[in-house]
Structure 1
Amino acid sequence: MKLPQVLRSLLIVICILLFSSCVSRKEIVYFQGLERAGEIIDQNRNNGLEIKPNDLLTISVSAPEIEAAIPFNLPVTAGGNSFGGDEMRVAGTPALQSYLVDSDGEIEFPVLGTINVQGLSRQQLAAKLKNEIAEYVQEPIVNVRIINFQVSVLGEVNRPGTFDIRDENLSLPKALGLAGDLSIYGKRNNVLVMREDGDKKVYEYLDLTDPQSISSPFYYLQQNDVVYVEPNGAQRQSASYNRNAGVYISIASVLISLVVLITK
Structure 2
Amino acid sequence: MTIQRLTIKGKYLILLFSIIYFSSCVSKKDIIYFQNDDIDQAKVSNSYKTIIKPDDLLQITITAQDTEAVRPFNLAAVTYSTSSNSAVGVAQQQNYLVDNNGEIDFPVIGKIKIGGLSRDEVVELLRNKLAPDYIKDPNINIKIANFKISVFGDVAKPGSYTIPNERITILEAIALAGDLNLSGIRTNVLVHREENGKKIQYTVDLLSKKIFTSPVYYLQQNDVVYIEPNYARIQTASSNSTTSLFISITGLLITIVSILTR
Place the TM-score, normalised by the shorter chain, in its bin: 0.7 to 0.9
Q: Which residue of 1 aligns with 2:174?
A: 176
8 Å contact from structure 1 (residues 150, 165) kept in 2: yes
Alpha-carbon offset, residue 28 of structure 1: 0.3
Equivalent positions of 1:150-229 (< 5 A) are 150-229=148-227
Partner of 2:102: 105
Deviation at 1:230, TM superposition (A): 0.6
Relative distance call for 1:37 and 1:63 in structure 2 (3 A) is closer
Distance 1:25 1:102, change over 3 A: same
Q: Please say if 1:59 is aligned against 2:60.
A: yes
**1:135-165 Cα shifts (integer Å, max 9, x gaps):** 1222211110111222221110111111212
Q: CA deviation at 1:26?
A: 1.6
Deviation sequence 1:1-46 (CA, Å, 0-9, x none): 9764444333223322332233222210111147x43636224x42
1:133 alignment partner, one of 130, 134, 149: 130
Aligned to 2:44: 42
Structure-1 separation of matches of 2:167 and 2:185: 24
Separation in 2, partners of 1:115, 1:180? 40
C-alpha distance in structure 1 between counterparts of 2:223 and 2:164, whole Å: 15
Report the CA distance between 1:130 and its aligned residue. 2.1
Aligned pair partner of 2:114 in 98, 113, 117 = 117
How far apart, in 2, do the equivalents of 1:38 and 1:25 lie?
24
Report whether the alignment pairs 1:72 with 2:73.
yes
Which of structure 1's runs of 4+ aligned residues deviate more than 6 A? none
Runs of 5+ unmatched residues, structure 2: 81-87, 251-262
CA distance in 2, matches of 1:112, 1:176: 41
CA contact (8 A) 1:71 1:110 kept: yes
Change (3 A) 1:241 1:167: same
Distance 1:11 1:93 in 2: 72
Deviation string, structure 1 residues 85-142 (Cα, Å, up to 9, x no partner): xxxxxx9344211111122211111122221111112222122212322212222111
Paired position in structure 2 for 1:260: none
Instruction: State the alpha-carbon separation in 1 of the partners of residues 29 and 165 from structure 2.
Output: 31
2:11 is aligned with 1:8: yes
Q: Residue deviations 1:53-73, cap 9 Å, x none?
A: 221111011112212210111
Question: What is the SS of the residue equivalent to 1:92?
Answer: strand
Write the letter of the residue equivalent to 2:12. S
Give the structure 2 partner of residue 29 of structure 1. 32
1:78–1:95 Cα contact (<8 Å) kept: no
- Return the alpha-carbon distance in structure 1 between the equivalents of residues 26 and 194 of structure 2: 35
What CA distance in whole angstroms lies between the structure 1 residues aligned with 2:230 and 2:197? 32
Unaligned regions of 5+ residues in structure 1, if any?
Answer: 80-90, 253-264
Please state whether the residue corresponding to 1:123 is helix, strand or coil: helix
Overall identity of the aligned pairs, in %:
43
Give the letter for the 1:183 counterpart: N
What secondary structure does 1:224 align onto? Answer: coil
Q: Is the 8 A contact 1:40 1:212 kept in 2?
A: no
Aligned-residue Cα RMSD (Å) equals: 2.6
Cα shift at 1:174: 1.0
